[in-house]
Chain A
């Protein structure tokens, strides 16, 4: 069966309440996510959202496209390219690649006069655990990441 070319997009506004709720869910209360005064003095210059919060939208995009029952033997491999700012809207989606079992996936942040990719990577079906190699796979170029 031919897989759809585009994933169904999912979006969320990452406001302070959403960040606080995700911090409580994950027990990640890093002040870069929660304390405006602390965050303002860091290199980020203000509050940023948890990277995993935005990554959630990629899973929701996959689920919206294929259904929860298809979320078996599926892998996601992403880089946090840019931070997400408080009150940004994040939008996740993806496009099928030529090998028909892989999607290029992304999350974009929109708001405050910008629209830019904050997460980039791929989603693959029918890969098997052995296809997730152990060890470093990321380069240090062109990203600022997401604080943990």
Chain B
């Protein structure tokens, strides 16, 4: 299990791929029907899903009880249908403060050409 002591700021943790296909959009739209539209661009709300999926798959062995405290996103451009995305996850901050174990993770999501599509920063309180 990944504990607080295992993380080092600046340490790349891994990457996860996601294919933005019609099927993926259909699954998303089952939850958010308003996002089913003719635009080939990904609904912006889906970027959080892409990032969270990368987080849970790269850090699959994480303790129960972590708390997601805050989140930043920046979109350079939205992916378009049939784009294959890669999200890279890194630890970018670590602090023990008031008895709480603060970890900050950075995510960069790129297209196959390496263009940065969107960037995220997730701050958590790690359970153990």
Interface residues of A (CB under 8 A from B): 10, 12, 18, 21-22, 25-28, 30-32, 42, 50-52, 55-57, 59-60, 62-64, 68-69, 71-80, 121, 127, 129, 131-132, 134-138, 140, 143-148
B49 & A25 in contact (Cβ 8 Å cutoff): yes
What is the interface size of chain B, counting residues whose CB is below 8 A from a CB of the partner?
53
Q: Specify the chain A residue showing the minimal Cβ separation from B40.
A: A68
What is the bound-complex CA distance between A71 and B43, given in angstroms? Answer: 9
**Count: A-B pairs, CB below 8 Å:** 156
Interface residues of B (CB under 8 A from A): 27-28, 30-32, 34-35, 37, 39, 41, 43-45, 47-49, 51-53, 55-57, 62, 64-78, 92-93, 95, 97-98, 100, 102, 104, 106, 116, 119, 121, 123-125
In-complex Cβ contact of B41 among A68, A135, A136 (8 A):
A68
Q: Which 8 A-B pairs have CB atoms at the shortest separation, nearest pair first?
A: A145-B67, A56-B45, A59-B45, A26-B52, A138-B70, A59-B44, A75-B74, A52-B48
What is the bound-complex CA distance between A77 and B27, given in angstroms? Answer: 26
What is the bound-complex CA distance between A129 and B74, given in angstroms? Answer: 7
